[in-house]
Structure 1
Amino acid sequence: MEFRTETAKAVARADHMLGRLDEAATRLPERGALVRATQWRELAGSWGADGTEVSVRDVFLQDLRGLRNPPVTDPAVAEYVAAADDAARRARAGEAIGVMLLRRTAARLPTSGTSTERGTDPPWRTTDRWFGARPSSAYLLAVPPGAELRTAAEQWVAWVDCPSDMPLIAKLALGAYQILTLAPLDNSEEVANLYVVLELIRAGALRDQILPVSPWLAPRSAPYHIRHRAVAEDGDLDGWIAFVAEGIARLCRAQLNIVDTVEELREEFLDRLGRRNDSLARAVNALLGTPVADQALIAERSGVSLRHSHDLIKRLRIHGVVREMGQRKQHKLHEVPAVMRVLGSAEDGA
């Protein structure tokens, strides 16, 4: 597949930025916080347009599922986190992405903050879908619901899972366009966003879900509609691929800024504490990866006893690294406010 010069340059920039992001993430003591922050951005981008608010704290609380009397969180958030984590593990193991997404993950992904509760079947679209401001002025009508739509979805699966010599960025851009345009599922947007990062993980370009896609690949945004319409009316696949590549590069840059800031906070905390090689330093590293934690999790991640972790938390609070969440008398929760502010920012690379 031959690209216009500007498209080839955009694809090369995206490849370069992906390499920089994955390398930078390895410098963090733990990548878990970056994964959870990415998942929050995906939820905020996909569901926020429908008016569904998503708390970044709710996403981090999913790492405390064994907590007694856990804080109330949106069950749809828990479903998304579990489905995305499972899909990423399977992609790293080399599982076929298309089959996994359509026949396993789609049934587990909530839509716009609505809990699934639908068993194991994919949420097939049952209404007509058009692209444009209104049906009367639509520039494209999607395949109607029914057998033809399901057949088209299976063809997408076969295309995604077939080996290809196409550049990675081009393939995932075209794969995203196809699933967004077919819109075979009620949660096609969530599936498309997850598909992009799973392709990157399967190819080894990223090791984890650390690139949020929904802030850029947003069907309600004007740039998206312009590029999508150009493909539908003029066959401008080059423009679409360049659009996706540019988004990936910008989003990588935004994530790199987050990594740099978290690294700076680590140095600031260690300087403030005056320790770098003991259990207190290990606790700091652990909390950078799980900035919402209870005493048991801090003890586990720091490699100390529960009794020792109590002393660590007390010292971290004295030095302003952590603060207690809420007014729980037992099984108290702690968070790192500075890290949460960084990870909970809404920067999207635009």
Structure 2
Amino acid sequence: MDVKKFGNSPIGHLVPISGTDGRFGTPYQDSAYVAHPLAAEPQLEPATWRMVNSANRALARLDQASLTILVPSLFRRSTLRREAQSTSALEGIFAPFEQVLAAEVADNQLSKELLEVMNYVEAADAAFQFVGERGAITVGLVESVHSILVRGTDSETRDAGRIRSTLVAIGSPTGAVTDARFVPMPSGIELNIAVQDLVRWIGSSSTDREPLVAAAMTHYQFETLHPFNDGNGRIGRLLIVLQFMVDGLLHEPLLSVSPWFEARRTQYQDELAAVSATGKWDSWIQFFAAGIESSADDIARRIDRLLSVQQRYVQIVQDASGRGVIRDIVDVLIGDPFVSVPKLAKRFDRTSSAVTSVVTKLVELNILSGPFGTYNRQYMARDVWIALTAPVGAVPSAQARLHFEGRE
């Protein structure tokens, strides 16, 4: 690790480390960075506060949009899968978004990468439920999230669901400790105490602490402590949304932050490292606030488009005199744009033949496309797919035509 870069940090200190590198069997001597516990909110520049305030307005718009949704859990399913795919990609675990959305109706066994992405979906769902019921973040919750996240993967070691018991090295091109870009706090009782301190800090009800600034500080501290052997980035970004829920900025966890950070991966890493090196918070908090604002505005736009698509699907079905299960299926497409007859039959307690006739009708109405997949059992709501997968800034407006409209 670069001792010159981190040796004079005002918010942390270096400690000597030594041992035998398990990967190479060679002895090493180096340094690790120990972050000091978070304290009071730092003095920030006026420009930083302007960006924080702007991000807060974007969060308020998103929160207001979420309150207009009759069944928020449907939107959560699709936005959570988008976050799962992107937050995993930031850690080098890539599964195409189409596969993530279609995972529950997939004909084949999930790939190793897709399994990890879907583990994130399960872990985040459990965390959202916990915070929604308890209104708090605990060490036990964070450890439980890690346990689910690594389940069935190469990272499911004896430390699964526990604060790590070994040293980790970040950004080492060779894997050697001495080549690492950053070595976080060594394992042991001090690391366990540091994680407990951070969770207590998150839960402290200080009226002098601005929630978005606190979330930025929490994210920095969690990533710097790096308390688990794997999954720290994904858990750290999940904590952003959980902390917004605890602090009342979001009633529904519809925010997806990782696509923005993924597009700026290098700057994201550099900004975090710069806080450790200099103790200066403004640049990181400005970067964080810009990401939150862009992400919140993007999700609000997707919600508007998805609500519009759903309303127009309903109108198309009504015009075709559709009733009963066909309406039920249309209502859930915004959360599950990929469906199959067997899954729909089970979900709505209908026979396969009854659902098949309904799905055939939805294909005729251009609401569904298909069949696709190895066994021709998958169908897709194309307009929902377009709204979910469009790049930031390219989401169709609520007034835009459906994909099949305007054709000769």
Fold match by TM threshold 0.5: yes
Pick one of 150, 157, 169 that aligns with 2:192: 150
Distance (Å, rounded) in 2 between the aligned partners of 1:115 and 1:40: 21
Contact 1:42 1:215 in 2 (8 A): yes
Q: What residue in structure 2 maps to residue 36 of structure 1? A: 77
- 2:236 matches 1:189: no
Q: Give the number of the structure whose alpha-carbon radius of gyration is greater.
A: 2
Q: What residue in structure 2 maps to residue 207 of structure 1? A: 251
Point out the more displaced range, 219-228 or 247-256. 219-228
- 2:357 matches 1:311: yes
Deviation, 1:260, is 2.5
Number of equivalenced pairs: 343
Deviation, 1:178, is 0.2
SS of equivalent to 1:53 = coil
Contact 2:79 2:254 in 1 (8 A): yes
Point out the more displaced range, 132-141 or 315-324. 132-141
Point out the more displaced range, 239-248 or 116-125. 116-125
- 2:221 matches 1:178: yes
Distance (Å, rounded) in 2 between the aligned partners of 1:313 and 1:146: 57
Distance (Å, rounded) in 2 between the aligned partners of 1:117 and 1:75: 17
Distance (Å, rounded) in 1 between the aligned partners of 2:128 and 2:150: 17
* Superposed CA RMSD: 3.7
Contact 1:14 1:248 in 2 (8 A): yes
Contact 1:30 1:285 in 2 (8 A): no
- Counterpart code for 1:160: I
Contact 2:309 2:384 in 1 (8 A): yes
Deviation, 1:91, is 0.7
- 2:371 matches 1:324: yes
Distance (Å, rounded) in 1 between the aligned partners of 2:102 and 2:328: 21
Q: What residue in structure 1 maps to residue 33 of structure 2? A: none
> Structure 2 unaligned runs (5+)?
1-40, 395-408
Contact 1:295 1:309 in 2 (8 A): yes
Indicate the percent of aligned positions where both proteins have the same amino acid. Answer: 23
Distance (Å, rounded) in 2 between the aligned partners of 1:207 and 1:299: 32
> Structure 1 unaligned runs (5+)?
none
Deviations 1:241-277 (A, max 9, x none): 2221111000111212222322332344345442598
Q: What residue in structure 2 maps to residue 160 of structure 1? A: 202
Q: What residue in structure 1 maps to residue 20 of structure 2? A: none
Deviations 1:251-309 (A, max 9, x none): 11121222232233234434544259844444322222222233465468779776654
Q: What residue in structure 2 maps to residue 343 of structure 1? A: 388
Q: What residue in structure 1 maps to residue 296 of structure 2? A: 252
Q: What residue in structure 1 maps to residue 332 of structure 2? A: 286
Contact 1:293 1:335 in 2 (8 A): yes
Alignment of structure 1 residues 94-105 onto 2, 5 Å = 94-105=134-145
Distance (Å, rounded) in 1 between the aligned partners of 2:224 and 2:202: 15
Deviation, 1:93, is 0.8
Distance (Å, rounded) in 1 between the aligned partners of 2:392 and 2:254: 14
Deviation, 1:119, is 7.8
- Judging by fraction of residues, say which structure has more helix: 1
Q: Cα gap change, 1:229/1:158 in structure 2, threshold over 3 Å: closer, same or farther? A: same
Q: TM-score, normalised by structure 2?
A: 0.71
